[in-house]
């Protein structure tokens, strides 16, 4: 996060007055930065919220990003941390619950400003970044407190740091039509199940969160798993794979031989997940 200002200066050179939404986290990577981008050809269907002034209803942006971008029926909200809007500072003394409530309140208000009928109950995919496993149970309760669907699958990912040294950051994609979620087994062979996948479908979008308790052993097992993922997501999807940094030197590059080159794949090393989880795969198609 020490490089955050420098990255912003470089990043801003590539976008105009209405930049895309984004989420930033600190990860134990071996390169300078990993950037994942999801694009659409439907520019005529795009609306953006890009608020730079300080207000009291939601925080101004702290970088070159929009608070929310809408493409057709899909709305993406930039990663929300618990800044106090009037001062643009985090609660002092440090308080995870206060930060979590503020971050979700910001997300809900941004959505409502874009469309008064939109709320967290319309979530298509949710990723919650925290810095400690002990905070996950509080984050779950706060999600319900702010109107999030009790059945909404959420990927809880533990990272080493967040912007402004925040304790939590929420990344939320929503859809105008409330979706339905189904749970499936994550199968890598006829006799081996390694976890579960949760698929949320709306009219013209599908999101998937696959939580693995064990890492597939080889290319064949990954191929079987990917085929099942692709069956639910359809064509032209994107995948993010979060994995623990302490997986004993596992060769994650084998996934490049499994997933077609036409599919956007981002591998992200992180500090951990909920207990017993080893890998989280997030996929989306719209």
Model confidence over 239-286: pLDDT tens digits? Answer: 999 999 877 678 888 998 899 999 999 999 999 999 999 999 999 998
The architecture that CATH gives domain 18-26+41-175 is: 2-Layer Sandwich (3.30)
Q: In this predicted structure, what is the pLDDT of residue 266? A: 94
Structural domain 180-285, CATH architecture: 2-Layer Sandwich (3.30)
Residues 6+ apart with CB under 8 A from 250: 215, 243
What does the DSSP 8-state code read for residue 161? Answer: B
Q: Which stretches in the chain have pLDDT values below 70?
A: 42-44, 248
User: Which residue from 186, 253, 185 is spatially nearest to 226, judged by alpha carbons?
Assistant: 186
Alpha carbon 29 to its chain centroid, in Å, reads 18
What is the model's pLDDT at position 176? 87
Say if strands 180-189 and 279-285 run parallel, antiparallel, or are unpaired: unpaired
**Integer Cα distance of 22 and 19 in angstroms:** 9
Going by C-alpha positions, the residue among 75, 281, 48, 61 that lies closest to residue 186 is 281
Would 18-26+41-175 and 180-285 be classified into the same CATH topology?
yes
Q: What is the pLDDT of residue 248?
A: 62
Count of H-run helices and E-run strands, the chain: 4, 12
Listed by start position, the domains of the chain span: 18-26+41-175, 180-285
């Amino acid at each position: 996060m020490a490089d955050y200002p420098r990255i912003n200066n470089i990043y801003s050179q590539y976008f105009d007055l209405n930049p895309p939404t984004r989420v930033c986290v600190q990860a134990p990577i071996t390169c300078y930065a990993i950037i994942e981008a999801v694009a659409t050809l439907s520019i005529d269907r795009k609306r953006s919220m890009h608020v730079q002034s300080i207000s009291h209803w939601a925080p101004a942006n702290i970088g070159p990003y929009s608070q929310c971008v809408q493409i057709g029926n899909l709305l993406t909200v930039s990663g929300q941390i618990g800044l106090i809007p009037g001062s643009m500072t985090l609660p002092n003394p440090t308080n995870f619950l206060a930060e979590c409530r503020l971050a979700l309140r910001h997300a809900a208000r941004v959505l409502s400003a874009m469309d008064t009928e939109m709320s967290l109950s319309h979530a298509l995919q949710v990723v919650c970044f925290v810095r400690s496993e002990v905070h996950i149970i509080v984050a779950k309760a706060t999600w319900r407190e702010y109107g999030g669907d009790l059945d909404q699958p959420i990927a809880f990912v533990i990272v080493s740091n967040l912007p402004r040294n925040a304790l939590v950051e929420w990344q939320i994609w929503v859809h105008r039509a409330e979706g339905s979620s189904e749970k499936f087994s994550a199968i890598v062979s006829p006799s081996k199940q390694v976890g579960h996948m949760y698929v949320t479908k709306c009219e013209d979008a599908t999101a998937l969160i696959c939580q693995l308790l064990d890492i597939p052993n080889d290319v064949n097992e990954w191929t079987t798993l990917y085929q099942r993922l692709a069956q639910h997501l359809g064509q032209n999807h994107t995948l993010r794979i979060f994995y623990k940094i302490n997986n004993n030197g596992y060769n994650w590059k084998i996934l490049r031989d499994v997933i077609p080159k036409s599919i956007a794949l981002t591998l992200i090393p992180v500090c951990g997940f909920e207990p017993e989880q080893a890998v989280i795969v997030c996929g989306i198609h719209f």
